[in-house]
Structure 1
Amino acid sequence: MFIDGTRTMTLSNLQPLTRALCCFFSAAALVFTGAAAAAAPERVISAGHSITELVLALGGGDSLIAVDSSTRLPAEFRPLPVVGYYRQLPVEGLLAQNPQLLVGGDHMGPATTLKLLQDSGVKILQLPEAGNGEELLRNIDRLAQELDKPAAAIKQSVQAQLRALTAARAALAQPPRILFVRAQQGRGLKAAGTGTSPDSLIRLAGGVNAVAFEGYKQLSDEALVELRPDWILFSSDQAEQLNGGAELLQWQPLLKLTPAGKRSAFYSVDGYALLGGIGLASLKEAKKLNEKFVAK
């Protein structure tokens, strides 16, 4: 009986111990599953040049499997499939790449494509278009967290560039009046107002936008003279067509009466610095633009 009693006591002690071990291993499995779910995505599609810049700067290049047509990859980077334009992304082309994460700006779409991707298990991260340096830094933090990458180095670099731009703006005797245009012969000029990427770049470089309206609007001939821009900017994708700005004076002779026209003060902005708000390319372009303001 003593032996039987000991055996009985041992078995009864094992029952709660077994239950405890089962609970422990179940909890451990849940923790492991959660950690696996939070692991860095291994298959990432980036839509938008400024977003792709950040992915690469954060060290996420190894996970990048495709980009959109607005992205300019570094010359030394491996070739990647191009899956449409960030505003008109095709569901089939994206799903064919078997992505875990699609990251882009708040203009990425269409909404139906994003919904179908989410329903298929693809995570979507949309970063708001940065209008200034602080918003760019917040985007870096959000993307770094999603990619599980350290952000300190790139943030230090961005902060140093922003400080340098702040000092450069303060050194200007007077902020120049800037007009950013899209031009087409026979159709006049459209100017970029507030809420546009050119407007953000102008302010970052230390200029004042010559127009106060929102978005892009057509300019009348009279307005061209009244605005009195000190500089006229256009995107690099129009540089050849506009012959460095010389064609603008032929298409719109009244520009010759403006300070910019009299001095032929034209500047071709890197078009990639205008995609998706303020990005890394925008900081470099703002520095170049500010140096133009100082030199002339």
Structure 2
Amino acid sequence: MLVGQGAPGATAPPEPVTADLLRAADRVIGPGSPDLGPLRPGTAVRARPVCSNPTPDRWPEVLGDLESRVSALQVEITALAAGPACAGRPCAAARCPSRSSGVPVNDQTDATSPLDTHVLERTAERLAARHAGVLSPEVVERVVFESYTALSRTARVRTHLAALAGHFAADRLAALAHAREGSGPPQVLFVGRHDTGRAQIAAALLAHYAGDAAVVRSAGTDPGSTVDPQALRVLAARGLELGQVYPKPLTDDVVRAADHVITFGTAEAVPVYPHTDHQDWGADRTVTGNPEELEMIVAEVDGKVRTLWGTIRP
């Protein structure tokens, strides 16, 4: 449900927000304060900044922002929905333009090679067996192919994209299963704008301190193509070898599964669920710079991560 304000000069009056509409909604998106009235338990609420009466020169910016947000919302909703069968078999959004998740189809994102398709299908079968009884094979296949599509939007090199999408899908499905079962260690999600700097640093540090006692993820509202190499070098100097890390798009399944969501100036782009603790650690400024500045940033994040872990550890 989208909640707005009446526009001056509008040809028709806006539809009033009623209690019935609010209770029926799975998501409520509106300007300003998220305190909109009676909601059904589990409804996600997002507060958006009010842009009242933009001047003509700002309309392209406003419309572009809205298009981006609506596309991201469509991806989230599609990822959680169990798809109907297409011609007797599960429908994967990445292979079926009629079931597009809202991500604009182009030559790069829609061009799935036969080898990649084979890898993704085998990955979906393996993950469906892992989550049998919790997640349907249709949901698993949809998430696998959508993960491939999402990562392909920012991938510079596509050689190992299918394998990377398999790792991303496995993490998303684990989050979705956790959200449905509600058991296991605490889940922590760090969200930056590009998931290339401080969100990755914080996730690496917490994963190092927590080990198997917590599940740690990072994501970006506008993911970049690679993690900042200088950040990786500083972490390596601290004894943290991260292996295969990559920026990941923010999806609703990992937000829904999180017990703690830490944002870096990106709180407005993250759904709010009643069970989740939210904290914002300030704007996700770039970590690229001279070594002294970079060390200061890592030390600042490290101090906050240690405090967080001391608070939430089981």
Query: When you count strand as a share of all residues, which structure comes out higher?
Result: 1
Q: Which TM-score tier does this pair reach, normalised by the shorter chain?
A: under 0.3
TM-score by length of 2: 0.27
Larger radius of gyration: 1
